[in-house]
Structure 1
Amino acid sequence: MKDIIVSIIIPVYKAEKYIRGCLDSVVRQTCKDNYEVIVIDDGSPDKSGEICDEYARKFSMVKVFHQANKGVARTREIGVEKAQGKYIVWVDADDSADPTLIENVVQRIDESHADLILYGVQYQYQGVVTKEQIPVKEPLEIMRRKSITGKYSTLWRLASLRDFWLGEKVPEEMERSAEDGYMSIQLFMKAKHIEVIPKILYYHIGDNPDSIRHSCDGKYYMGNFSIWYYRLHICEKNYKDLIAHCASRAFSGAVKAYSMSLINHDLPAKFQKELIESLYDLRKYPIGGRLRDKFLCWCIIHRIYGPCRWYANHKIKKLERKNRKITNNHSNI
């Protein structure tokens, strides 16, 4: 077997409905060697782990590791430790890779020796398929700037050097929902040579009701607040024209996180204290509009929690209706 160039890492949790399609896509690559598939079963309560073991018995490139549930951020760190490839490619358990993904990535590595490679993505959401604009190679500083605004904030749309991951640890407050955004910034800031592949090579399913993006709790919005607050402080040094945008997003995330925590009781006291302090701090930034958020911020600061609880319950019920609709659509397929 030739040296492993690319490690595909797949964190798996409660993905029984999707994992076969995902694994089929990575074991049937047109590139027959040069890659491995690292599957981390993060304590799945369904049959996801058993299905992964089944593929490991059939395909020598698949290596499965089981663990008690640690969350996706820590699972990714473990995946990097297990990986032997020089480059890392991420595939979510409910998504799939184009059959030529690894072939295209290896070819671009051979041609350019880039340390980060972007490729196109196709999205499917509630039966609607859209193709994101094919990435265009731009000056390094412009691509870094786009990573700050969230343009390139998903890890499954890029291949990167494994070395870039070593020593990196996602902050605790971003573990639930912002690990992609945080790590993508680290990767773009480390990269010296970025290349693009002008093809759709990844297929993302956006309507899995069990995915994190379809949750609505304090931890989810804590991550949302934290990543935008982190971006805000980067912009104060390097991208001053983006300050207002980042501040507004951080402000909204903080209000939602605190309001949701009043219902779900899922944020420790240290995070609630951080949110309060940040809301005081964010008032010094130019935050346009967002009258609802400003009102809820005033309520939080003055400990008038009734409107915050009403808002949190409203958002939870709205998401529940949305998830029921998605589930019913899946049942009718």
Structure 2
Amino acid sequence: MRINVIIPAYNSESTIEKAIKSAIELNKYVDTRVVVIDDGSTDKTYIIAESYKKQIVLLRNKGKGVSSARNEGLEFLINEKTEDEWITFLDADDVLVEDAFKEISTRKYNSFEYINFCFKEGTPFISETISSERASYYAIKSLKNKNYNFNSPWGRVLKLDFIKKYNLKFDENLSYKEDMLFNIQCFKYMPRIITLQNIGYEHVNSESSVINNFIPSALSDEKYIYAQVKKMFMNKNKLEEMERLVGTIGLTFVYVFPKNTNSKILLNGKKRFYEVRKFLGHVEVNKAFKELNKIDFTIIILYKFGLYRFMKLLFKMKGRI
């Protein structure tokens, strides 16, 4: 077997070398190929990656965004022989731990198409097989469930044959939650899924992370994702409701009260609050209470009753604004 590590990179000169080295070093016990896609960097990212050209595949993208860069890597791989080939994603500011694929390399899990593994932030997963419907639920619920991560692009290994068969790609029109949508599109085709307790990934939540910044398109992206969830999981109202609840909470952090922002953007916070409240629509309080933690449930209640000032005060107390 060979595991292909796809690394999209944009202006990552301070971290890209560490990421590349962490992937190359895994060759000592499993055949690993590293594919770096420079997405139009204006710093020394490409030069640093190029110094490893004998050990990696280096591609160039035209600054179209992380989804386009990941798709460029996938396109390169599926044009080759895909039998017994696997793929995983690594962000340019994260690393794979020393024995990330040691358990996977035993080939005990070759009957699966989707292998989920742990990362150092958060609770280790429970090792078990899991249905596509349940995985979709956890993906939509995001990291709020504390037991599984099915919403990120990293922390999993997928069979390349499966990706090729269903022409799975990241939606390049999205700036927000494109990774979660990619995963539930995978689950639509019912892959055999297993979760492993092995910690293989070290994730860094930096100031540049999506959750800390204002995303102007977040509401339109969320509406699109909600429509996709509704279309993919017809008659499964629980998944739709969960997407609306968790989507509303996510919008609070990247659209209504983003952390890294300016006073001009904050001035329009009230308008954005009511836009998100409209998206949330009718909500059954008992269902929200059952599914959410205390803070998230409080946020939903503030939307339900239009209590913008109280929400703004809450975010000030938490140091978000």
Contact between 2:97 and 2:200, CA under 8 Å: does it hold in 1?
yes
Contact between 2:140 and 2:246, CA under 8 Å: does it hold in 1?
no
Distance in 2 (alpha carbons) for counterparts of 1:115 and 1:181: 17
Q: Which runs of 5+ in 2 are unaligned?
A: 143-147, 266-273, 289-297
Please report how far the alpha carbon of residue 12 of structure 1 lies from its aligned counterpart in structure 2 after TM superposition: 0.5
Q: Which position in structure 2 is the counterpart of 1:190?
A: 189
Structure with greater helix percent:
1
Distance in 1 (alpha carbons) for counterparts of 2:245 and 2:235: 17
Q: Which position in structure 2 is the counterpart of 1:134?
A: 125
Deviations 1:264-298 (A, max 9, x none): 6xxxxxxxxxx96x9657524536663543566x9
Contact between 1:10 and 1:92, CA under 8 Å: does it hold in 2?
yes
Give the residue type in structure 2 aligned to 1:187: C
Please report how far the alpha carbon of residue 13 of structure 1 lies from its aligned counterpart in structure 2 after TM superposition: 1.1
Residues 203 and 67 (structure 1), Cα distance of their counterparts in 2 relative to 1, 3 Å cut: same
Please report how far the alpha carbon of residue 94 of structure 1 lies from its aligned counterpart in structure 2 after TM superposition: 0.7
Q: Verify: 1:14 aligned to 2:11, yes or no.
A: yes
How many residues matched?
Answer: 284
Please report how far the alpha carbon of residue 88 of structure 1 lies from its aligned counterpart in structure 2 after TM superposition: 0.8
Give the residue type in structure 2 aligned to 1:168: L
Residues 120 and 291 (structure 1), Cα distance of their counterparts in 2 relative to 1, 3 Å cut: closer
Contact between 2:7 and 2:34, CA under 8 Å: does it hold in 1?
yes
Q: Verify: 1:146 aligned to 2:143, yes or no.
A: no
Residues 292 and 233 (structure 1), Cα distance of their counterparts in 2 relative to 1, 3 Å cut: farther
Contact between 2:127 and 2:195, CA under 8 Å: does it hold in 1?
yes
Contact between 1:177 and 1:220, CA under 8 Å: does it hold in 2?
yes
Residues 104 and 146 (structure 1), Cα distance of their counterparts in 2 relative to 1, 3 Å cut: same
Contact between 1:88 and 1:159, CA under 8 Å: does it hold in 2?
yes
Give the residue type in structure 1 aligned to 2:135: M
Q: Verify: 1:293 aligned to 2:293, yes or no.
A: no
Find the residue that maps to 1:245 and give its secondary structure.
helix
Give the residue type in structure 1 aligned to 2:13: E
Q: Which position in structure 1 is the counterpart of 2:89?
A: 90
Q: Which position in structure 1 is the counterpart of 2:154?
A: 156
Contact between 1:96 and 1:202, CA under 8 Å: does it hold in 2?
yes
Give the residue type in structure 1 aligned to 2:197: P
Q: Verify: 1:72 aligned to 2:69, yes or no.
A: no
Deviations 1:78-137 (A, max 9, x none): 1101124521111111111122223432323x55421111111112xxxxxx5x223321
Distance in 1 (alpha carbons) for counterparts of 2:250 and 2:137: 21
Distance in 1 (alpha carbons) for counterparts of 2:64 and 2:158: 24
Contact between 2:100 and 2:198, CA under 8 Å: does it hold in 1?
no
Superposition map of 1:1-333 within 5 A: 5-31=2-28, 34-57=31-54, 59=55, 62-83=56-77, 84=80, 86-108=85-107, 111-123=109-121, 130=122, 132-140=123-131, 141-150=133-142, 151=148, 152-166=150-164, 167-171=167-171, 173=173, 175-206=174-205, 208-220=206-218, 222-224=220-222, 226-228=224-226, 230-231=228-229, 234=232, 237-238=235-236, 240-252=237-249, 282-286=280-284, 290-294=300-304
Q: Provide TM-score, normalisation by structure 1.
A: 0.70
Q: What's the % identity of the aligned pairs?
A: 20
Distance in 1 (alpha carbons) for counterparts of 2:301 and 2:219: 19
Contact between 2:229 and 2:239, CA under 8 Å: does it hold in 1?
no
Contact between 2:113 and 2:192, CA under 8 Å: does it hold in 1?
yes
Find the residue that maps to 1:156 and give its secondary structure.
coil
Q: Provide TM-score, normalisation by structure 2.
A: 0.72
Please report how far the alpha carbon of residue 176 of structure 1 lies from its aligned counterpart in structure 2 after TM superposition: 1.3
Find the residue that maps to 2:194 and give its secondary structure.
strand
Deviations 1:226-282 (A, max 9, x none): 4455445655522x3454433223345567777589966xxxxxxxxxx96x96575
Deviations 1:181-221 (A, max 9, x none): 00111223324322333211111111x22333332231345
